Structure 1
Amino acid sequence: MASNPDIPCGPCAYERNTNVAMKWCSHCEEGFCTDCEKSHRSLKLTRDHKMIAIEDYLKIQDVSFDLTCKTHGKNLDLFCKYHGVAMCAVCVPSAHKTCQADDIISIDDAAENAKSSAALTELEVKISRSLEHVRSCIKNRLSTSMKIDTDDQMIKETIKETRMKLNKQLDALEEKLLLELKLKHEKYKAKHSKFLKKLEQTEKEFEKIKEQIQQMKLFASDLQVFLGTCQMDKSTMEKIALLEAELGKERNYAIEMKLNSVVRSLMNDVKQFGEIHITETNADLQLKDPMISQAQIQVREAMRNIDDINLHLKLEFDIQEHITGCLIISDGRIFIASCWTTGELMEYDEIGNYVRTVQTPSSPYDLTEIDTDRIAVTYPNVSRIEILNIKENTVETKIECKGRCYGISQHSGKIFTIVKELGILMIDLNGTILETFNIDISSVFYITATEDKFYYTVPGVHTVKCCNFEGKEIRVFENRSLKYPGGITVDSNQNVYVSGGRSHNIILIQHDEKQSKVVLSKLSTPRAICYNKTNNLILLSYTIGFTSDRVALYQVSSENTY
């Protein structure tokens, strides 16, 4: 193994020796020579430390990780789940005093399995999509630049064609017009070239970040990956914001010439061969980032207190089906599952227009979003879950459940589903069953999952039960305002919305279960319900006839957000 003179052995340097490091300890953040590495591994306190080759360390050396609090200079040893930030102990009373006690966890717990975390996956998706948008912008600019060249060539041909019919005395006017064309063409072509270089530089920067993420996943520690994800996400958002500002200023230019109408008949009176005009329009280039904005964070903060939460009807449309599951994904598309009537999975657009019927192997009961391109669907009649790629119209994963599966919910890469013959299953996105919770679900059909717990409704006893991820029941909610609860969903603040089939209402339960209130009433047998966290929307269905249901879409807002 080749040594690197730039990385000295830390313990040897302390003893004022100059040995070269052969390994790097990700925990201690220093290099070790062969002898010091053996000593390091032999100690009980350090034998579990991750050691990587110096060559591998150099691959992630440029990826910066702040391990100390920039405000207080202390170690980042805590994490706030609500705000999604790492912090030191001093930050808690100063900046997080209103956060719930269970929102504050140790950084080690937060960083566990960071390489397979949803945050890292989201960052990779964000980088990939940003690269995709940048490349699209580059393609657009190249096409526009070529259009300017085409316009230029067409004008030249028009000039030549006209010039052949004119007297030689027009030579001077031709030269003047060609000069004007050349100057304006070069000027506006230069504008495109300058911005094109900026886009190509941005592409290289995103490529570099993407490569760093891959190296970080392979060779950095969980803590480094976690902190790197947080910090690189921030810098990526800043790059995106800067690029969006530049894109908003960019303009399209089209060159055209207005030929003098009397050139042919009044050659001797014409003082100018023609005019070069530039048509300027907005380039309409945008970077569409799928992640949550600062404004959405402010709305989320305002809606922690359920007293101020209100629902405003945006859309209603009727379907000649009895709906068992509904979903509104992040880009606004609506999916409806009907298990008991036609047994179809249908897609509608954001204003309620029918788009298509998705081909399924059996009658779908419930569905949940994985990301904007993928959803997971349960099929009780064939005891199966499928992860569908709704962009490519393909089945990515088939999960055999060995029992009739009904309600389903996904959170942070974990799928929770109700299987009548088994209980409640926790499954990863590869289809591996992680846990089987032996819970009596004989009359249970719907479930929803959140940060560290899941909720399910028990219609027969008019209750909502809450369990942790070990399957231990931690709370039971029951209220005389809620009768025969069915569909259940959770918002970004872990507030829970439940449909009351026989109380004909929607109940909102605060995240700590200390308060609840009726947010919708006088509904005819509401059933399926879904919360879209990206846009704070609620989609629900309720019966309006013997063979038909109504789908309603509501905007969720707080008085404090206006």
Structure 2
Amino acid sequence: MARVGLKISRTTQVNGVAICKEGFCGECEQSYKSINISINHKMISIEDYSKLQEITVNLKCEIHGKKLDLYCKKHDIAVCVVCISFEHKMCSSSDVISIAEASENVKQSIALSDLEETISRTLVNVKHCINDQETALKDIEKDERTIKKTIADTRINLQNYLDELERKLLLNLKSTHLNCKTKNIEILYQLKQKENGLIKLREQTLHMKCFASDIEVFLGTCQLNKTIIDNFRSLREEIIECTNNRMELEIHHVISSLIKEVRQFGEIKVIKTNASLQLKDAKIDQAQIQIHRSLQNVGNISLQRKQKIDIEGSEKPFAGCIILPDDRIIIADYFGSGNLMEYGKDGKHIRDISVSTGPYGLTVIDTDRIAVTYGSKNYLEIINYMGDIERTKVQCSTACWGISYQDQKLYVVVNPQGIVVMDLTGKTLNTIDINVLYNIVYYMTTTVDKIYYTNGRNNTVHCCSMTGQEIWVFKDQSISQPRGISVDNNQNVFVIGRSSNNLTVIKHDGKDSKVLLTDRDGLNNPMAVYYNKGKNIVCLGLKETSIALYQVS
């Protein structure tokens, strides 16, 4: 036999009889095919046969160790002769057929076609998952580089800023020192002049006593005495007006707080997002899974009070409140003192930020800036509250109330225009009509793709698109005179009911709600609410004399 092993005759089952599995060369192949018993055997190449070895197909029964030579159509399973006697003795003879009969034309069967299609779909999904994870890995590396650069840039900016503050302070020190020194030198010079004059008078008196006549001494004594009295009076007046200047340094309270309270440069957070896996298996409704994930039951939301902050001298409800990125709290006392009040996370009063008139709406822009509306005064301000307080005034056509910041834009309730969209320079980009002419709309907030506002006249809460198209309207007898509004990470809406003295959470689709706090929890004429998405904390105006922080769970 020359050139053995070029082709192989595959083992098959014909009427329950096993056919050989042998290797042949080209010459032997012709002889083998001329034999009647093997004339129908299919020949394949050695290379193709080696691929078959990778397929793990179990030809024996896992229970009895016998060859799988029968097939039960009723239970859709391959069985051995022992299985028929035990597990399938109730199956009829028509249900049990030979494996050869069951596998006839199997390569053209729908089952094999479905298997191939399922494998192809699964392979596409796996490749998509691999690509998604590879992209996520690259993003993580990119995030690390970005964070490192941000840390370095922040340090440089902070250092440069401190250097500039130091430069200004040293210039101020130099100027103040020069002024104080000049005044002291002037006073010292005048006193020394007086001293020299008195020394000369004393010498003249001694000379007069020794060498002058009695008449000259008498007249000289009278004249010098008058001179001494005049000098004494002049000296006394100068001494009374004379002050000794000292210099001392008072470090700005923000820098002192930075040294005392800031314990770390920053915090690295892991933001978990669902991988964008677009599974295409017809048996898996991925859209339905995503919807199920997003439907959070508001009935499970609860609040636990973390802190209550009493505001001294407060007698009116607070119009607004926000939590800054460093956990400090800013309160808008529109109806009371007319100031912005700043409190630390420990509940201690830091300072009052003086503003031109009563502040109403508040929103956080970044780590240094907030935006404030002033109601019927028809303007708002962008305030840099770090260091020297800088302000950018933006004039509005009429009264401006609620305000929110989103994607480099300010969204402002301007009655009766609607919601005016403007950039940070105050340029109007768009106006969204929400029919505020005959309604009472004071409060609003935004997310990436939605706008939310309350209507105090109709006792309704509204959700609309960024173009103003209404998505849903919520109204329930439990909410009376809705005012402050804020949104959590799942787009569930937290709303203050001023007359109903409660805080309610509305499900993101507007179809369900839950009252979280009532007057039994201390709410009395509340207006302001703010949801901190970073730490899941609600800050609200509890009553006229206090605000409270609640942990959301």
TM-score, normalised to structure 1, is 0.48
Greater percentage in strand: 1
Larger Rg: 2
TM-score, normalised to structure 2, is 0.49
